[in-house]
Amino acid sequence: MITRKTTRQITIGNVKIGNHAPIAVQSMTNSDTRDVDATVAQIHDLEAAGCEIIRVAVLDLEAAAAISRIRQQITIPLIADIHFDHRLAVASMEHGAQGIRINPGNIGGPDKLRIVVDAARQHHVPIRVGVNSGSVEKEILKKHGQPTPEALVESAMKNVALLEQFNFHQIKISIKSSDVLTTIAAYRKLSLVTDYPLHLGVTEAGGLIGGTVKSSVALGMLLYEGIGDTFRISLTRDPVEEIRVCYELLRCLKIRERGPELISCPTCGRCQINLFGLAEKVEAHIQKMATPLKVAVMGCVVNGPGEAREADIGLAGGNGVGIIFKKGKLYKKVPEEELFDVFIRELDAMSKESEVAAREKRRQ
């Protein structure tokens, strides 16, 4: 069983972070924030996938002003991502940002930082101190030679101190590297020297395969050790893919469970259907389902049900015919061309039944 480190608690919108609150799943839009319709559409897709906090880039005052219109149309908390310009941080909060991400050391000096902190205090907005391997101060880099774990921690705590001097403590911290081992070591060290909540991530992790592996190794190890209060899987993909990977990682660690788990075989010479295509269509369908079911897609009617005995519902293909099974037992035989449609109807019905049962249990 994973023992979470106790951290201070902050609140972003209606989401509590730290002090054993559920680990929050985050992502960031890749649309132009000034394009309100496109940004809202992307956030709606992310909400449906289970995203709990969204971050948007604020490049200018027009983007800051767009936050108010975006917020009117979404349900999850919104964080404004700011670099260098304190005016953008203040404007974002004035237009409804519920959190901001800054590097206090490059926001324009103490006087401008005080203006940001005063605005954050006035609007009850937490500040995320974001440090990555490309933003470490020159003097710290010179001291350590490169962005080592020690350099990242020193930079983060230096920037935290800049906020603390104004008696501001609604803080969470992230220190990211594109290197897996550096990320792990840095967060371990940071966790020992602060009790502020931590946002985990591997920066510039890469595409679907490379980014998933790098992030899962680094963040999986940290989460298993009880380190981390929020996290993002950064991928050079549609951000919805990030959310899918996040929940699979949480599921594997038995930390949180959302939506169906897909069990599928890698195929072999016995497979007589297009299992790859079938599995992809089933996987696409279950992404927006919240009920935690085990769903199996197997290629062989001989071994499929037995191999996926623990699945709530599954299918297995044969030569011109497929079967649908529940709890490892044959439920129905279906012509191959009807298999997917019939299976999805059965899956949706089971999901609704589970939702009703869950609601009844909560009422009792």
Confidence at 170, pLDDT banded by 50, 70, 90: very high
Sorting pLDDT into bands at 50, 70 and 90, what band is 206? confident
Q: Comparing 10-252 with 261-363, is the CATH topology the same?
A: no
Question: Cα(275)–Cα(291) distance, rounded to whole angstroms?
Answer: 24
Which among 165, 128, 135 is positioned nearest to 151, based on CA atoms? 135
Q: What is the pLDDT of residue 332?
A: 87
Beta-carbon contacts of 296 under 8 Å, excluding residues fewer than 6 positions away, are 262, 263, 264, 304, 308, 311, 313, 314, 315, 316, 325
Mean pLDDT across the stretch 74-78?
97
Which CATH number does the domain 261-363 belong to among 2.40.128.50, 3.30.2420.10, 3.30.413.10, 3.90.870.40? 3.30.413.10
% of the chain beyond a pLDDT of 70 = 96
Transcribe 100-116 into DSSP letters. Answer: EEE-GGGSSSHHHHHHH
Lowest mean pLDDT among 94-103, 235-244, 313-322: 313-322
In this predicted structure, what is the pLDDT of residue 61?
Answer: 96
Report domain extents, the chain.
10-252, 261-363
pLDDT at 200: 96
Average pLDDT over residues 79-94: 94
> CA–CA separation, 116 vs 129, rounded Å?
13
> Which one, of 27, 37, 39, 42, lies nearest residue 235 by Cα?
27
* Dist. CA 308–CA 329, nearest whole Å: 10
The pLDDT tens digits for 239-296 are 999 998 999 999 999 998 888 888 887 776 666 677 787 888 888 888 778 888 888 8
pLDDT at residue 259 in the model? 80
Threshold 0.95, pTM exceeds: no
Q: Which pLDDT does position 122 carry in this prediction?
A: 96
Residue 302, pLDDT score: 66
Return the CATH fold of 10-252.
Answer: TIM Barrel (3.20.20)
- Containing 304, the helix (H) or strand (E) segment is helix 304-307
Q: At residue 174, does pLDDT exceed 70?
A: yes
Percent of the chain with pLDDT over 90: 57
pLDDT per residue as tens digits for the range 16-52: 999 999 999 999 999 999 999 999 999 999 999 899 9
Q: What is the mean pLDDT of the chain?
A: 90
| 98-107, 169-178, 308-317, 327-336: which is most confident | 169-178
